[in-house]
């Protein structure tokens, strides 16, 4: 058996500053996440300049806390792993610079990890290994994509959203209903009190074979349901009503019906994908929306029906976190895939 590895993971791709220490790629010793939601809430979305400034202020305390909670020192580490792509470039740069400085000063290997690939690894944390080949589904604020995973590091894209990501649709529906930011968890909670069959929102499945996604039509249908028809033209256009004119029950019914339609689309795409790829041995789901109660329940039921294990991350590893970076970083380290000090942050993904 190999000596145990201790990887420090660093994540700063969007609006969470996170650090984590993971042993042997699976045992999470610490998982520290400093969220910036309060800083961005009044703008209704993440403001890149504010995010990168907040990362700079938080990154060192967050790393220190992760080491303290894990009960390890910098010298105990085997390597430093950092999410260097994709994401907001100014935010990514903060994590990448911190990781390079640490790796260089400690004389330890540096490992670069793709944030989306890491979401597909999150289900293995504090859990059993994933059975490959696997079908992957990443559902987050920036991504809604299906993948074929030969293993944790060899990943091929099967389909992706042609407009909004599903998390983005959740956030926009929350904004339309005037519920706050980030909207996903709020809509999920409200949906549990509403009637999911109240409204039949349109589901776009695209061409018969397509594994791509589209959520903008569904989102617009929610907008019209809440506000009625547009009145007037051009800049002067308004709507018949606003969210304030709806009762709490009406809002809950809209949230529940939207949630049913959105999850329905995800499950129907999984169905298409397993038909097209009958060799897969499991389905792995990751990203912020994998915390969604309806998606969790429906995907598990889908797996049971099709006799395929469905691997969902523990709740702490659904949203952006550094444990998934450290976990996948361990696989890269084991495979001898190191980065050097020329490592750059990249706004777009490599897969």
CB 34 within 8 A of CB 17: yes
Q: Which of 140/161 has CB closer to Zn ion? A: 140
Least Cβ distance, residue 291 to ligand KG4 (angstroms): 4
- Nearest residue (CB) to ligand KG4, 25 versus 182: 182
**The pair of three-digit structure tokens given for residue 47, joined into one six-digit string:** 């403001």
140 lies in the site for Zn ion, by CB under 5 A: yes
292 binds ligand KG4 (CB under 6 A): yes
Residues 6+ apart with CB under 8 A from 231: 237, 238, 239, 240
Q: Which is nearer to ligand KG4, 79 or 310 (CB)?
A: 310
Judge contact between 203 and 152, C-beta under 8 A: no
Q: Which of these, 57, 11, 56, 7, lies nearest to 33 by C-alpha position? A: 11
Name which of 147, 178, 182, 155 is nearest 168 in CA terms. Answer: 182
Nearest distance from residue 6's CB to ligand KG4, in Å? 25
- The DSSP result for 24-79, as a single string, is TTTEEEEEEEEE-HHHHGGGTS--HHHHHHHHHHHHHHHHHHHHHHHT--GGG-SE
Q: Shortest CA distance to 55 belongs to which of 83, 25, 80?
A: 83
Residue 117 or 171: the one with the smaller Cβ distance to ligand KG4 is 171
Residue in 136, 159, 184, 313 binding ligand KG4, rule: CB under 6 A: 184
- Binders of ligand KG4 among 311-350, rule CB under 6 A? 319-320
Q: Is 320 in the site for Zn ion (CB under 5 A)?
A: yes
20-28, 166-174, 210-218, 269-277 -> range binding ligand KG4 (CB under 6 A): 166-174
Question: Could you write out the DSSP letters of every residue in 274-316?
Answer: HHH-TT--EEEEESGGGG-HHHHHHHHHHHHHHT--EE---GG
Which member of 90, 288, 327, 329 binds ligand KG4 (CB under 6 A)? 288
Applying CB under 5 A, the span of 132-140, 230-238, 275-283, 321-329 interacting with Zn ion comes to 132-140
Q: How many residues bind ligand KG4 (CB under 6 A)?
A: 20
What secondary structure does DSSP assign to 180-195, as a single string? -SSHHHHHHHHHTTS-
Q: Which residue stretch of 51-59, 178-186, 194-202, 333-341 sits at the interface with ligand KG4 (rule: CB under 6 A)?
A: 178-186
Q: Which stretch binds Zn ion (CB under 5 A): 34-42, 135-143, 180-188, 220-228?
A: 135-143
Residue ranges binding Zn ion (CB under 5 A):
140, 320
Residue ranges binding ligand KG4 (CB under 6 A):
14, 140-142, 167-168, 170-171, 182-185, 188, 287-289, 291-292, 319-320
């Amino acid at each position: 058996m190999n000596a145990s590895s201790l990887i420090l993971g660093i994540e700063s791709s969007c609006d969470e500053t996170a650090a984590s220490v993971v042993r042997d790629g699976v045992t999470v010793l610490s998982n520290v996440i400093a969220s910036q939601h309060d800083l961005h809430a009044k703008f209704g979305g993440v403001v890149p300049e504010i995010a990168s400034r907040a990362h700079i202020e938080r990154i060192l305390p967050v790393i220190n806390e992760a080491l303290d909670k894990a009960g390890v020192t910098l010298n105990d580490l085997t390597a430093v792993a950092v999410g260097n792509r994709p994401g907001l470039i100014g935010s990514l740069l903060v994590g990448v610079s911190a990781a390079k400085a640490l790796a260089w000063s400690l004389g330890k290997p540096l490992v670069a990890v793709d944030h989306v690939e890491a979401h597909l690894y999150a289900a293995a944390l504090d859990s059993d290994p994933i059975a490959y080949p696997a079908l992957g589904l990443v559902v987050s604020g920036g991504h809604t994509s299906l993948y074929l995973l030969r293993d944790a590091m060899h990943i091929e894209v099967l389909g992706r959203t042609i407009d909004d990501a599903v998390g983005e649709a959740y956030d926009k529906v929350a904004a339309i209903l005037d519920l706050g930011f980030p909207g996903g968890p709020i809509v999920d909670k409200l949906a549990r009190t509403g009637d999911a069959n109240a409204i039949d929102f349109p589901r776009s499945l695209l061409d018969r074979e397509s594994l791509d996604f589209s959520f903008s039509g569904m989102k617009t249908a929610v907008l019209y349901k809440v506000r009625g028809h547009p009145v007037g033209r051009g800049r002067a256009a308004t709507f018949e009503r606003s969210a304030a004119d709806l009762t709490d029950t009406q809002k809950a019914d809209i949230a529940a019906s939207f949630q049913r339609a959105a999850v329905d689309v995800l499950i129907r795409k999984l169905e298409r994908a397993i038909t097209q790829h009958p060799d897969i041995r499991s389905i792995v789901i990751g990203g912020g929306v994998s915390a969604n109660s309806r998606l969790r329940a429906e995907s598990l039921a889908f797996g049971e029906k099709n006799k395929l294990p469905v691997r969902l991350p523990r709740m702490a590893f659904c949203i952006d976190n550094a444990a998934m970076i450290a976990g996948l970083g361990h696989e890269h380290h084991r495979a001898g895939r190191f980065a050097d000090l020329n490592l750059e942050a990249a706004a777009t993904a490599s897969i």
